C-alpha cells in the first residue's frame, strides 16, 4: 500500500506543484488588483481570505457570483485569466493521472499490493506453489479438490491469467513475478505462520534451485519440494538440504524398471500415488528381453541406467551416436526404417520413444508397431497439449513428466506417511501387492482413491483421543464403521498405523488403536468427512462403540432418525 501511495505521489509531483503555483498566483493577483464600490468609487483589493474563498468556489465551478461585492473590470479580467490558467493546470494533472493508471508498472504494483494484503489475511494453512505451467496447474487442481489453500507465483502473465479463469473452490491469490526472488517469495508468504510448504515446480532448474535455497535460508522449518532435471542441479539442491527433490526422468525410469521386475507392486504404487478422482491407471506388463532406447539425453540415460537388469539387453539409437559404454549404439533418430532395422527392431521386445520431440516419438512408436506388432511401446510425451494424439495412439506405457512430478508432490505434501508405507510395501511379495490393489479397485469403483492420514490427538480427533485416554477400546474395524449405521463399513482401507517408531502394515479389524497413533487410509472422497465426524463428534463415536444413540439436537435427529 505504501509503495502505491508513494508511487502516485512521485508521478503526480509535477502536476500538483503546477496546480498549487497557479492557484497561489490567482489568489495573490486578487489581493493586488483594486476593486470598485457600488457607487463607482475605487475600493481596496480583496483580503487573502476573500481571494482564497473566491478562487476555491471558482475551482469547483459552483459559481456563487462576484463575492463579497461586484468586481471591477480589472478584477474580472484577472478572474478570467485565472480560470483559463487553472483549466490548463487541471488538464495537465488529469492527463498525467490517466497515463499513470495505464502504466504497466503501476498496474503491477497495484496487483502486487492487493496480492500481499490477501496473503497477510490468510488464516488457514496453505502451500506456496512456484510455477503454474502444466505441472503447477495439476498440483493446484489436486490441492483444490482436497481442500487445501495455496498461493501461486509465476513469471508468465498469460498462465496466471488463465489460472484466474479456473473454477477453483477456494479464492487463492496469484501473482505474476519471478519466484526465484527472495522479495517475491516473502511477499507470497514464505515466512507466513500458516505456510506449510513450498513447491518449486517451474520449468527452469536454476529458478527451482534459487527457490529451494531461499526457502532453506529464510524459513528452514517448512518443507520444500523442488523439481529438477539435471543431476548437477539435483546435487546442488541436496547439498542445501532440500527435503524432497523430484526428478521426473529418474522417477519414470525407476517405475519402468519396477514394472518390469515387479508389475503388481508397481500397479499398487500407481494407484496410491495417482491424482484422486481420476480413472484408475491400466495394468502395465513390460517384458524382459531386448529393448531399444531412442534418444540418449537425460531421459534416455536414466532409462538405460535403471533398465540394466538381468535378462535385459539394450540398444540405443541416438543422433550423435552416444550411448552406454556396455551397450550397442546406432546413429539416427529412430523414425527411419533402416535405423530401426539396424537396431534389431524385429527381434526386440520393447522400445522407448524418448526424444524431446513429441512428433518424433509418435513417429518412432508407430513405425516400431508397424515393423513389429508385438513390441511393447513406451512413449514419452513432452507437451500436455498433445494429449489427443497420444490418447489416440494408445502406447503400452506413456511417460508424461508433468503428471509424474505433480503426483509425487501431492502425495508427499498431503500424506507424509505414504512415502513410509510405499518404502515398506517394497519389501512385500507380489501376491500381497496384487491383493491390496484388488481391494482398492473394489472400493473405489474405477477411480483413483484419496489417500490421507489422521493423527489421533486432541487437535485432529478430539472425541477419539478422549475416549482412548479414558480406556474406551477403539479398534480399526470400529474406526471404519458408518456413523449413520454402525453395522455397515465405510469404503476405505487402513493402510498403516504409525505408533512412535513402530509401524503396523494393513492392520486387521481387531487391531486396537491408541491415543497419538497416526493412521494412513485410502478410500472414496466422502469417507474423509464421515471419518472426521466419528473422530471429532462424541455422540457419533459413542453410537459406534456402544450402539446407543445419545441424541444430538434436532439436526442430529434429522440426519440420523433411524437409530436405536
Residues 259 and 349 occupy one common structural domain: yes
Residue 176: strand, helix, or coil: strand
Residue 436 lies in a domain: no
Residue 32 lies in a domain: yes
The residue from 215, 242, 269 where one domain ends is 242
Dist CA 210 CA 200 (whole Å): 9
The residue from 365, 394, 414 where one domain ends is 414
What length does the chain have? 564
CATH number, domain containing residue 546: 3.30.70.1450
- DSSP assignment string, 30-59: HTTS-EE-TTS-EEPPPPHHHHHHHHHHHH
Residues 85 and 68 occupy one common structural domain: yes
Residues 152 and 195 occupy one common structural domain: yes
Task: For 249-344, list the strands marked E by DSSP.
Answer: 289-294, 312-318, 328-331
CATH number, domain containing residue 71: 1.10.287.70
Helix, strand, coil shares of the chain as percentages rounded to 5? Answer: 50, 15, 35
Residues 264 and 388 occupy one common structural domain: yes
The number of domains in the chain is 4
Residue 431 lies in a domain: no
Residues 267 and 230 occupy one common structural domain: no
Residues 125 and 54 occupy one common structural domain: no
pLDDT computed for residue 63 by the predictor: 66
10 Å CB burial of residue 424 (0-12, 13-18, 19+) is middle
Residues 532 and 399 occupy one common structural domain: no
The residue from 102, 134, 163 where one domain ends is 102
89-to-21, 53, 58, 323 alpha-carbon distances in Å: 9, 19, 14, 74
Residues 338 and 401 occupy one common structural domain: yes
Helix/strand/coil (H, E, C) string of 422-469?
Answer: HHHHCCCCHHHHHHHHHHHHHHHCCECCEEEEEECCCCCCHHHHHHHH
Pick from 330, 313, 309: which is nearest to 321 by CA? 330
Residue 421 lies in a domain: no
CATH number, domain containing residue 362: 3.40.50.720
10 Å CB burial of residue 350 (0-12, 13-18, 19+) is buried
562-to-403, 485, 537 alpha-carbon distances in Å: 45, 9, 18
* Peptide bond between residue 68 and the one before it cis (omega within 30 degrees of 0): yes
Tell me the per-residue pLDDT of 188-210, one tens digit each, with 9 for 90 and over.
Answer: 999 999 998 899 988 888 999 99
Contacts of 359 (CB under 8 A, 6+ apart): none
pLDDT computed for residue 564 by the predictor: 47
Residue 430 lies in a domain: no
Residues 212 and 256 occupy one common structural domain: no
- 483 is written with which cell numbers? 456413523
pLDDT computed for residue 553 by the predictor: 55
Residues 362 and 471 occupy one common structural domain: no
Dist CA 219 CA 267 (whole Å): 37
Dist CA 106 CA 13 (whole Å): 15
The domain in which residue 288 lies consists of 251-414
Residue 113 lies in a domain: no
Q: How many CB atoms lie within 10 A of CB 489?
A: 15
Residue 434 lies in a domain: no
Contacts of 547 (CB under 8 A, 6+ apart): 486
Residues 12 and 149 occupy one common structural domain: no
pLDDT computed for residue 560 by the predictor: 58
Q: How many CB atoms lie within 10 A of CB 124?
A: 10
Residue 335 lies in a domain: yes
pLDDT computed for residue 2 by the predictor: 58
Residues 453 and 409 occupy one common structural domain: no
Q: How many CB atoms lie within 10 A of CB 338?
A: 9
10 Å CB burial of residue 102 (0-12, 13-18, 19+) is exposed
Sheet containing 350-353: give its strands across.
328-331, 312-318, 289-294, 350-353, 376-381, 397-400
Indicate the average pLDDT of the chain.
85
**Low-confidence residues in the chain, pLDDT < 50:** 563-564
Amino acid at each position: 500500500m505504501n509503495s502505491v501511495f508513494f508511487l502516485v505521489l512521485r508521478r503526480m509531483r509535477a502536476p500538483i506543484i503546477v496546480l498549487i503555483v497557479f492557484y497561489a498566483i490567482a489568489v495573490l493577483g486578487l489581493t493586488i488588483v483594486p476593486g470598485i464600490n457600488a457607487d463607482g468609487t475605487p475600493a481596496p483589493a480583496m483580503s487573502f481570505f476573500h481571494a482564497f474563498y473566491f478562487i476555491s468556489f471558482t475551482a469547483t465551478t459552483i459559481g456563487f457570483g462576484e463575492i463579497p461585492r461586484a468586481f471591477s473590470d480589472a478584477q474580472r479580467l484577472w478572474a478570467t485569466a485565472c480560470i483559463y490558467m487553472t483549466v490548463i493546470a487541471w488538464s495537465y494533472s488529469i492527463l498525467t493521472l490517466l497515463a499513470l493508471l495505464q502504466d504497466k508498472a503501476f498496474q503491477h504494483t497495484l496487483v502486487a499490493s492487493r496480492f500481499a494484503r490477501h496473503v497477510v489475511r490468510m488464516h488457514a494453512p496453505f502451500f506456496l506453489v512456484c510455477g503454474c505451467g502444466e505441472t503447477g496447474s495439476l498440483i493446484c487442481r489436486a490441492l483444490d479438490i482436497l481442500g487445501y489453500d495455496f498461493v501461486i507465483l509465476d513469471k508468465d502473465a498469460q498462465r496466471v491469467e488463465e489460472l484466474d479463469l479456473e473454477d477453483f473452490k477456494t479464492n487463492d491469490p496469484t501473482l505474476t513475478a519471478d519466484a526465484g526472488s527472495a522479495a517475491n517469495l516473502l511477499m507470497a508468504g514464505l515466512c507466513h505462520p500458516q505456510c506449510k510448504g513450498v513447491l518449486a515446480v517451474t520449468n527452469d532448474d536454476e529458478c527451482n534451485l534459487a527457490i529451494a535455497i531461499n526457502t532453506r535460508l529464510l524459513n528452514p522449518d517448512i518443507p520444500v519440494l523442488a523439481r529438477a532435471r539435471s543431476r548437477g542441479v539435483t546435487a546442488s539442491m541436496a547439498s542445501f538440504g532440500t527435503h524432497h527433490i523430484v526428478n521426473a526422468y529418474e522417477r519414470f525410469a525407476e517405475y519402468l524398471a519396477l514394472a518390469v521386475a515387479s508389475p503388481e507392486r508397481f500397479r499398487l504404487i500407481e494407484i496410491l500415488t495417482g491424482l484422486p478422482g481420476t480413472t484408475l491407471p491400466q495394468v502395465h506388463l513390460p517384458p524382459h528381453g531386448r529393448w531399444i532406447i531412442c534418444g540418449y539425453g537425460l531421459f534416455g540415460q536414466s532409462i538405460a541406467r535403471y533398465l540394466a537388469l538381468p535378462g535385459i539387453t539394450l540398444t540405443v539409437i541416438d543422433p550423435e551416436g552416444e550411448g552406454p559404454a556396455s551397450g550397442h549404439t546406432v546413429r539416427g533418430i529412430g523414425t527411419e526404417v533402416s535405423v530401426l532395422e539396424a537396431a534389431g527392431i524385429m527381434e526386440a521386445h520393447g522400445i522407448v520413444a524418448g526424444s524431446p520431440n513429441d512428433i518424433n516419438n509418435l513417429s518412432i512408436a508407430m513405425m516400431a508397431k508397424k515393423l513389429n506388432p508385438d513390441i511393447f511401446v513406451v512413449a514419452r510425451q513432452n507437451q500436455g497439449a498433445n494429449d489427443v494424439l497420444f490418447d489416440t495412439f494408445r502406447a503400452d506405457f506413456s511417460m508424461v513428466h508433468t503428471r509424474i512430478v505433480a503426483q509425487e508432490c501431492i502425495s508427499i505434501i498431503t500424506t507424509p506417511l505414504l512415502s513410509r508405507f510405499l518404502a515398506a510395501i517394497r519389501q512385500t511379495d507380489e501376491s500381497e501387492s496384487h491383493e491390496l490393489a484388488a481391494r482398492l479397485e473394489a472400493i473405489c469403483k474405477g477411480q483413483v482413491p484419496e489417500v490421507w492420514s489422521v493423527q489421533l490427538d486432541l487437535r485432529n480427533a478430539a472425541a477419539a483421543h478422549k475416549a482412548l485416554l479414558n480406556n474406551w477400546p477403539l479398534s480399526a474395524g470400529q474406526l471404519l464403521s458408518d456413523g449413520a449405521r454402525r453395522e455397515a463399513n465405510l469404503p476405505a482401507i487402513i493402510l498403516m498405523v504409525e505408533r512412535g517408531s513402530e509401524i503396523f502394515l494393513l492392520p486387521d479389524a481387531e487391531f486396537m488403536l491408541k491415543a497419538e497413533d497416526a493412521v494412513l487410509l485410502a478410500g472414496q472422497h466422502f469417507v474423509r468427512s464421515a471419518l472426521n465426524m466419528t473422530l471429532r463428534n462424541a455422540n457419533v463415536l459413542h453410537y459406534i462403540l456402544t450402539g446407543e444413540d445419545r441424541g444430538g439436537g434436532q439436526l442430529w435427529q434429522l440426519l440420523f432418525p433411524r437409530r436405536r
